[in-house]
């Protein structure tokens, strides 16, 4: 008899416990934010700032894990295959969710089917800049110069958003400029600052110091509108109407993540990006805050895939 009582007690306790779990609010434990690039890059910086603030918002630590390699594909693949419980999320970029899937012949993941979008956080402009000794003062003059003599441009690597910004520029301007890929933005900048290569397509945040100091001359930003941090630098679109590229950072969870978790994460992301301290950091970074809803991010990924598909095809960039 006592044993039965105990069993009942135990059973009800268990039931209570289970009910408690089901009703508990996400998140109950720490969340891993996978950054698919090495520490120190711009995605890493955005990720760490966001993780810091989101930890306060969610009441659980958001731990950053850098899983670099294969242009972001390794980290993205890891999250695509992770347990879809909302405790492993990805800091996705234009590379992981538009370019790599278009470029890679063997797709390690599907950017739409394998992920549940959370929030598009920021848009980051790219910039077309030249060494000050290059005679061209405007985008139009650079196009004319490229038609007259052979030129070369540096980028942070084959198949990166900056390479494809350059390819889109060449296609729209109808010019031929040699592409010189580097391993990352740092070495590419060094060679342009030393006038080993005359032209560079770079992220605006990484080039901004050199532009302000006059060591590089910015001819145009790649966004449709001018960047608020450099109001004097025209948009390339002012010369080549319709030209628009930018890098972006967005949070993704694995497909199948419960909607409550997605909502909680998206809400935390929204509050985070609304924080003036975070906004200040992003402004120094020339990044435009979006803080979208999950649906808007899904639309965005679709639009980006559609925009880059012809560019990737025409530029004939592909990797096995």
Partner 1 sequence: MDLLSNLALGFGVASSLANLAFCLIGVLLGTLIGVLPGIGATATIAMLLPITFQLEPVSSLIMLAGIYYGAQYGGSTTAILINMPGESSSAVTAIDGYQMARNGRAGTALATAALGSFFAGSVATFLVAIFAPPLTTIALKFGAAEYFSLMVMGLMMSVALAHGSVLKALAMVVLGLLLGMVGTDVYTGAPRFTMGMNQFADGLNFVAVAVGVFGIAEILRNLEDEHDRQVMTKNITRLFPNRDEFRQMIGPVLRGTGVGSVLGILPGGGAILAAFASYTVEKKLSKNPEEFGKGALAGVAGPESANNAGAQTSFIPLLTLGIPANPVMALMIGAMIIQGIVPGPNVVTEQPALFWGIIASMWIGNLMLVVLNLPLIGLWVKLLTVPYYVLFPIIMAMCSIGVYSVNSNPYDLFAVAFFGLLGYVLSKLRCEPAPLLLGFVLGPLLEENLRRAMILSRGDPTTFVTRPISATLLLLSLAILVLVFLPQIRKRRDEVFTESDA
Residues that bind partner 1 (CB under 8 A): 38-42, 44-45, 48-49, 51-52, 64-71, 73-74, 77, 103, 108, 150, 152, 157-159, 178, 180-183, 186-187, 189-191, 193-197, 205, 208-210, 212-213, 215, 280-281, 284-285, 317-320
Of 194 and 310, CB closest to partner 1? 194
Confirm if 219 and 142 have CB atoms less than 8 A apart: yes
Single out the residue of 125, 194, 124, 123 nearest to residue 154, CA to CA: 194
For residue 211, the minimal CB distance to partner 1 (Å) is 9
Question: Where would I find the beta strands (DSSP E) of the chain?
Answer: 31-35, 62-66, 88-93, 115-130, 152-155, 178-181, 199-203, 217-221, 246-254, 288-289
Give the count of beta carbons closer than 10 Å to the beta carbon of residue 196: 12
Give the count of beta carbons closer than 10 Å to the beta carbon of residue 133: 8
Give dist(CA 251, CA 268) in Å, integer: 11
For residue 125, the minimal CB distance to partner 1 (Å) is 15
Token duo for residue 4:
């039965």
Of 16 and 38, CB closest to partner 1? 38
For residue 299, the minimal CB distance to partner 1 (Å) is 29
Token duo for residue 34:
């996978």
Confirm if 75 and 96 have CB atoms less than 8 A apart: yes
| Integer CA distances (angstroms), 228 to 44, 154, 288, in order | 23, 25, 9
DSSP at 236? G
240 Cβ contact partners less than 8 Å away, ≥ 6 residues apart: 139, 169, 172, 173
For residue 52, the minimal CB distance to partner 1 (Å) is 6
Q: Is 64 helix (H, G, I), strand (E, B) or coil?
A: strand
For residue 209, the minimal CB distance to partner 1 (Å) is 2
Give dist(CA 81, CA 207) in Å, integer: 35
For residue 224, the minimal CB distance to partner 1 (Å) is 24
Of 215 and 217, CB closest to partner 1? 215
For residue 71, the minimal CB distance to partner 1 (Å) is 8
Of 67 and 139, CB closest to partner 1? 67
């Amino acid at each position: 008899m006592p044993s039965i009582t105990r069993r009942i007690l135990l059973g009800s306790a268990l039931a209570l416990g289970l009910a408690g779990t089901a009703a508990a609010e996400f998140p109950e434990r720490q969340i891993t934010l996978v950054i698919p690039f090495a520490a120190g890059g711009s995605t890493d910086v955005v990720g760490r700032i966001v993780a810091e603030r989101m930890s306060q918002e969610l009441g659980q630590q958001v731990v950053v894990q850098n899983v670099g390699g294969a242009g972001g594909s390794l980290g993205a693949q890891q999250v695509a295959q992770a347990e879809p419980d909302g405790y492993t999320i990805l800091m996705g970029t234009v590379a992981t969710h538009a370019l790599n899937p278009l470029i890679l012949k063997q797709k390690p993941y599907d950017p739409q089917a394998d992920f549940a979008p959370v929030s598009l956080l920021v848009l980051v402009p790219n910039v077309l800049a030249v060494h000050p000794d290059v005679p061209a003062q405007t985008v139009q003059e650079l196009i004319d110069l490229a038609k007259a003599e052979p030129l070369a441009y540096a980028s942070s690597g084959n198949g990166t958003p900056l390479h494809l910004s350059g390819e889109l520029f060449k296609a729209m301007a109808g010019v031929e400029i040699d592409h010189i890929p580097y391993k990352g933005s740092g070495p590419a900048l060094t060679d342009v600052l030393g006038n080993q290569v005359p032209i560079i397509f770079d992220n605006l945040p990484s080039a901004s110091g050199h532009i302000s100091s006059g060591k590089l001359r910015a001819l145009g930003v790649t966004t449709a509108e001018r960047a608020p941090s450099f109001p004097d630098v025209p948009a390339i679109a002012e010369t080549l109407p319709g030209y628009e590229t930018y890098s972006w950072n967005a949070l993704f969870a694995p497909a199948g993540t419960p909607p409550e978790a997605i909502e909680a994460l998206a809400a935390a992301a929204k509050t985070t990006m609304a924080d003036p301290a975070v906004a200040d950091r992003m402004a120094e970074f020339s990044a435009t805050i979006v803080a979208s809803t999950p649906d808007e991010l899904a639309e965005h990924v679709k639009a980006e895939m559609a925009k880059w598909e012809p560019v990737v095809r025409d530029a004939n960039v592909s990797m096995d």
